[in-house]
Structure 1
Amino acid sequence: MKAVLLPGEREVRVVEREVPRPGPGEVLVRTRASAICRSDMSLYTGNPIVGGDAAGRGLVVPGHEPAGDVVETGPGVTGLALGDRVTGYLAIGCMRCEHCRGGRLMLCPRWKCLGFDVDGGDAEYFVAPAVNCLPLPDELSYTAGALLTDMVGTQYATQKSLAVGGATTLAVFGMGPMGGAAVLVGKALGATVLAVDLLDERLALARELGADAVVNSGSDDAVARLRELTGGRGPDVVVECSGAPPAQNSALDCVRKLGSVAFVGESRQTTINPSDQIIRKLLRVTGGWYFPIDQFAELSRFAVQHALPIERLVSHRYQLDDAPEAFRAFDRRLTDKAVFTWD
């Protein structure tokens, strides 16, 4: 089979490998869609943000957002059959600790990440634990299924935890793919959504996805404009998706007193002023990272019932042979959300 490897230093190899075989409790999936995520760039450059010794050395097939068809089951697998359409849950846990038993496999102290620690979906086939292969409704395409987990799933879990609903004014900073997913989820939950970004083309897409108003933080004072749009009060909830320190600070500055801020965009270091930005506003500040595995049935029903146009978040589609071009363009930000497809 063909598979992608990322040895680091912005090198991409498409190699031939043996089709893997599923072990006990595992299934073999024929990949039909696998998305490139901004976190994959850490593998591309050789500085992985998660993963063990194998990550970033070109030993592991990337791709933590895959979907496809079950083509073989290993010993002891129940509940999955050949031909089942599935999407992959990226966190592989021990299934014994308190976090795994609570559904949050990504908090397991011994967790491994699909596409970082173990081979992921940027290949014609991948193997995963049966518990990580989540049933994909017929109403959702393979591409939608791939994006449903990391992006839409993260936003759904985050916004649900913050009680986003019809009475909420939600501001979203960063209109990349994750921010776009935040707009889709927020509108489906009934919120008034305000989108913030530096790029007019991304703000135009945010309007298409349902944003009620947009703010260009490059030409406007985003904090002042968001307060103006909310009658001087500030948004009830802010979801920060860019990971940029200025946006993170603006999120804390603009939100109303007793409001909530979720940091979703990855960031290694940011300087804030807790006294003025958090303590004296009595804010709730949380991290938004993936979703509990037992929430997937609810999440997939939500996507179907609200007819979420998830594929609208995809900017480019590639064949696996074009992986060098795909990663190069993604690294240069010539694409937003790119997906390998086998349609």
Structure 2
Amino acid sequence: MRGVVFLGEGAMELREFPDPVPGPEEVVIRVKASGMCGSDLNHLYEPKRTEDQIVIEGHEPCGVVEMVGSSVRPHEAKVGDRVMIHHYDGCRTCSNCRSGWTQNCDRGRIAFGGNGHGSHADFMKAPVHTVIKLPDVLSFKAGAAIGCGSGTAYGALKRINLLAEETIAIFGQGPVGLSCTILAKAFGARVIALDVGEERLAMAKRFGADFLVNPLKGDPVQAIKDVTRGLGANKAVECSSNPVAREQAVNCVCQWGVTCLVGVHGSMQFDCNEVITKQKTLVGSLTFSKNQQEECAQFISERGIDVDSLFTHEFRLEDAVEAYALFEQRKIGKGVFVFD
């Protein structure tokens, strides 16, 4: 089979690998869609990798079960099932693993497409406990979106307990931020979308954002207060990883408000009194649990939410170099590798 690998320092290639064979408690899926994530670019530009560090990339897998291991029971997975894969494995026995938060494994995690083989390939092998059934009404592309970007957005909104009567400010309208916008509207909230790119703001508007703010055109904190009677937003989610935006996300929420950091890496500064005297809460949110991935898929399918529209471009595996070059230059929105 073919698989996309990153070699470090911006280099990548399409390689041939043996077709995977499942162990007793594993499945092999025939990949139908594998989404591109902004975090992929961090891996692409890591230092040069040795051969033992090179893995197949991709952590937004969706496809059809091709083979099952000898110990896999029919209710867990069977050949022909349409499935997503929760893209983490761990020790499977610590409290985090048992509760579905494998990414927080006490003994160290495996992230498929990070330090374990992922889904930018014709086939993918994974433990059966990572299999999440894909609702029949959802496309494989929708399953790929839920597999990281949209699932991460859902996890963040659940983390802050977003309510229908609330106003939320969403900083950054890339794939995760746009997913936050779509889902927050489905939750019933009023959405203020922020981004420095007018094209992304236009997408946010199409996806239901009530107010648009470009931080390059004025003080975004004041703009948020202007549309909330001077109070500030009830909740804020920061998806850009920009340190200035992180500070603004703290400052823009009202007294007793909650700010959630989703964008990874980097640092931030803020006035502690802003949090202390106004009784604000600052939290982080790392993707989603296995249970939340299934819950997100059901939420999207039952409400007919069009997450397929998050993808602006489709690619084949052989186009991977071009696809990531366009992605890095922000000449596309969210891309996805699709398979026959």
Which TM class, normalised by the smaller chain length? Answer: over 0.9
**Would the aligned equivalents of 2:53 and 2:115 in 1 still touch at CA under 8 Å?**
no
Given that 1:5 and 1:58 are in contact with CA atoms closer than 8 Å, whether structure 2 keeps it comes out as no
1:25 equivalent in structure 2: 25
Counterparts of 1:137 and 1:341, CA distance in 2: 19
Q: Which residue is 1:5 aligned to? A: 5
- Aligned partners of 2:59 and 2:147 also within 8 Å: no
User: Residue 10 of structure 1 aligns to which amino acid in structure 2?
Assistant: G
Please tell me whether the aligned partners of residues 232 and 253 of structure 2 are also in contact (alpha carbons under 8 angstroms): yes
Q: In structure 2, which of residues 59, 77, 81 is the aligned counterpart of residue 80 of structure 1?
A: 77
What letter matches 1:45 in structure 2? Y
| Letter in structure 2 aligned against 1:176 | G
Q: Secondary structure at 1:260's aligned position in 2?
A: strand
Contact 2:316 2:338 in 1 (8 A): yes
1:47 Cα deviation after fit: 5.0
Indicate the residue corresponding to 2:282 in structure 1: 285
SS state at 1:315 partner: strand
Instruction: Output aligned runs, 1:123-202, within 5 Å.
Output: 123-202=121-200
The letter of the residue matching 1:15 is R
Deviation at 1:298, TM superposition (A): 2.2
Query: Which residue is equivalent to 2:315?
Result: 318
User: Equivalents in 2 of 1:139, 1:309: separation in Å?
Assistant: 11
Q: Give 5+ residue unaligned stretches, structure 1.
A: none
Amino acid at match of 1:85: R
* C-alpha displacement of 1:58: 5.9
After TM superposition, the score normalised by the length of structure 2 is 0.96
Helix, strand or coil for the counterpart of 2:43? helix
Among residues 93, 118, 130, which one is paired with 1:120 in the alignment?
118
Q: Residue 227 of structure 1 is aligned with which of 221, 225, 228?
A: 225
What TM-score, normalized to structure 1? 0.95
| In structure 1, distance between residues paired with 2:52 and 2:216 | 38
Q: Is contact 1:8–1:58 with CA below 8 Å preserved after alignment?
A: no
Aligned mates of 1:6, 1:161 — CA distance in 2 = 32
Find 2:62's aligned residue among 62, 67, 79. Answer: 67
Q: 1:47 to 1:220 in 2, by over 3 A?
A: farther
Which position in structure 2 is the counterpart of 1:35?
35
Task: Verify the 8 A CA contact 1:7 1:57 in the aligned structure 2.
Answer: no
Could you tell which deviates more after superposition, 147-156 or 121-130?
A: 147-156
Shift of 1:156: 1.5
Whole-angstrom distance in 2 between the partners of 1:331 and 1:158: 25
| 2:90 corresponds to which of 86, 89, 93 | 93
Q: Shift of residue 69 of structure 1? A: 0.6
- Deviation sequence 1:292-332 (CA, Å, 0-9, x none): 21233322110011111101111211000001101111122
Contact kept, 8 Å, 2:243 with 2:266, in 1: the verdict is no
Q: Secondary structure at the match of 1:218?
A: helix
Q: Where do 5+ consecutive residues of structure 2 fail to align?
A: none
Paired with 1:76 and 1:311, the residues of 2 have a C-alpha distance of: 35
Aligned counterpart, 1:215: 213
Of 237-246 and 327-336, more deviation after overlay is shown by: 327-336
Does residue 1:102 correspond to 2:95, yes or no? no
- Which residue identity is paired with 1:61? I
**Aligned alpha-carbon RMSD (Å):** 1.5
CA distance in 1, matches of 2:95, 2:318: 42
Q: How does 1:228-307 map to 2 (within 5 A)?
A: 228-276=226-274, 278-307=275-304
Give me the whole-angstrom Cα distance separating, in 1, the residues matched to 2:319 and 2:134: 27
- The Cα offsets for residues 203-222 of structure 1, whole Å up to 9 and x where unpaired, read as 11001001011111111210
Q: Which amino acid aligns with 2:65?
A: V
Q: Which moved more, 1:208-217 or 1:326-335?
A: 326-335
How far apart are 1:155 and its partner, in Å?
A: 1.7
Alpha-carbon distance in 2 for matches of 1:107, 1:120: 19
**Aligned counterparts of 2:103 and 2:208: Cα–Cα separation in 1:** 31
Q: Distance in 1 between matches of 2:81 and 2:90?
A: 23
Aligned pair count reads 337
| Cα deviation 1:322-343 (Å, max 9, x = unaligned) | 0110111112222221110014
